[in-house]
Structure 1
Amino acid sequence: MRYILRRLGFFIVTLWAAMTVNFFLPRLMPGDPAMAMIARFHGRLSGQSLHAMEAAFGVNTNQSLIAQYFAYLGDSLTGQFGRSLTFFPDTVSHVVFMALPWTLGLVGVTTVIAFILGTLIGMIGAWTRGGWFDSVLPPLFIILSAFPYFWIGLVAILIFSISLGWLPTGFGYTNGEAVTFTLPFIWDVVRHAFLPAGTIVITSIGGWILTMRNNMIMVLNEDYVRMARAKGLSASRIMFDYAGRNAILPNLSGFGMSLGFVVSGAILVEYVFSYPGVGYMMLQAVLNEDFPLMQTLFLFITLAVLIAILVVDGVTVLLDPRTRRSS
Structure 2
Amino acid sequence: MSIAKSSALATGTRSIRSFLAAHPLLSYALRRFGLYVVELWGAITVAFFFFRLIPGDPIQTFIQTLQLNYVYNQQASAEVIARYREEFGLDGNIVTQYLHYLHQVLIRQDLGPSLLNYPTPVQDVIMRALPWTVGLLGISAVLAWFLGLLAGAVAGWRRGKFGADLVTNLAIALSHVPYYFLALILTFIFAYQLNWLPARSAYDARLEPTFSLEFIASLLRYGLLPSLSIVVIGVFSWLLSTRMLMVPVLGEDYLVYAQAKGLRPRRILTRYALRNCYLPQVTAFGISLGFIFNGNVLVEQLFNYPGLGATLVNAINILDFNTIMGVTNLAIFAVLTANLILDLILPLLDPRVKYWR
Which TM bucket (shorter chain)? over 0.9
Matched position secondary structure for 2:55 = coil
Partners in 2 of 1:159 and 1:274 — Cα distance?
A: 18
Partner of 1:116: 146
Partner of 2:224: 194
Q: 1:161 to 1:66 in 2, by over 3 A?
A: closer
- Structure 2: which 5+ runs fail to align? 1-25
Q: Which has the larger radius of gyration?
A: 2
Partners in 1 of 2:251 and 2:244 — Cα distance?
A: 12
Matched position secondary structure for 2:209 = coil
Identity of aligned residues (%): 39
Matched, 1:175 2:200: no
Matched, 1:70 2:99: yes
Give the drift of 1:242: 0.8
Q: Is the 8 A contact 1:102 1:277 kept in 2?
A: yes
Alignment of 1:1-327 (within 5 A): 1-41=26-66, 44=72, 46-61=77-92, 65-77=94-106, 78-264=108-294, 266-324=296-354
Partners in 2 of 1:149 and 1:260 — Cα distance?
A: 15
Q: What amino acid does structure 2 have at the position aligned with 1:258?
A: S
Partners in 1 of 2:35 and 2:177 — Cα distance?
A: 36
Give the drift of 1:299: 0.9
Give the drift of 1:326: 5.8
Partners in 2 of 1:76 and 1:221 — Cα distance?
A: 54
TM-score normalised per structure 2: 0.85
Give the drift of 1:325: 5.2
Q: What amino acid does structure 1 have at the position aligned with 2:35?
A: F
TM-score normalised per structure 1: 0.93
Task: Summarize deviations over 1:247-271 as a string: whole Å, max 9, x none.
Answer: 1111111101223432446111111
Q: 1:157 to 1:151 in 2, by over 3 A?
A: same
Give the drift of 1:67: 4.5
Give the drift of 1:151: 2.0
Task: Summarize deviations over 1:189-240 as a string: whole Å, max 9, x none.
Answer: 1110000000111122211001100101111122222222222222111111
CA-based RMSD of the aligned residues comes to: 2.0
Q: 1:119 to 1:16 in 2, by over 3 A?
A: same
Partners in 1 of 2:252 and 2:105 — Cα distance?
A: 49
Give the drift of 1:68: 3.5
Q: Is the 8 A contact 1:256 1:312 kept in 2?
A: yes
Q: Number of matched residues?
A: 325
Q: What amino acid does structure 1 have at the position aligned with 2:332?
A: T
Q: What amino acid does structure 2 have at the position aligned with 1:27?
A: R
Task: Summarize deviations over 1:145-183 as a string: whole Å, max 9, x none.
Answer: 232222211221121112222111111111243221211
Q: 1:59 to 1:248 in 2, by over 3 A?
A: same
Moved more, 297-306 or 25-34: 25-34
Q: Is the 8 A contact 2:52 2:94 kept in 1?
A: no
Q: Is the 8 A contact 2:171 2:240 kept in 1?
A: no
Q: 1:325 to 1:52 in 2, by over 3 A?
A: closer
Matched position secondary structure for 1:323 = coil
Partners in 1 of 2:287 and 2:196 — Cα distance?
A: 34
Give the drift of 1:188: 0.6
Task: Summarize deviations over 1:2-28 as a string: whole Å, max 9, x none.
Answer: 221121111000011112212322332
Q: 1:265 to 1:214 in 2, by over 3 A?
A: closer
Partners in 2 of 1:260 and 1:318 — Cα distance?
A: 24
Give the drift of 1:55: 2.8
Q: What amino acid does structure 2 have at the position aligned with 1:134?
A: A
Give the drift of 1:241: 1.0
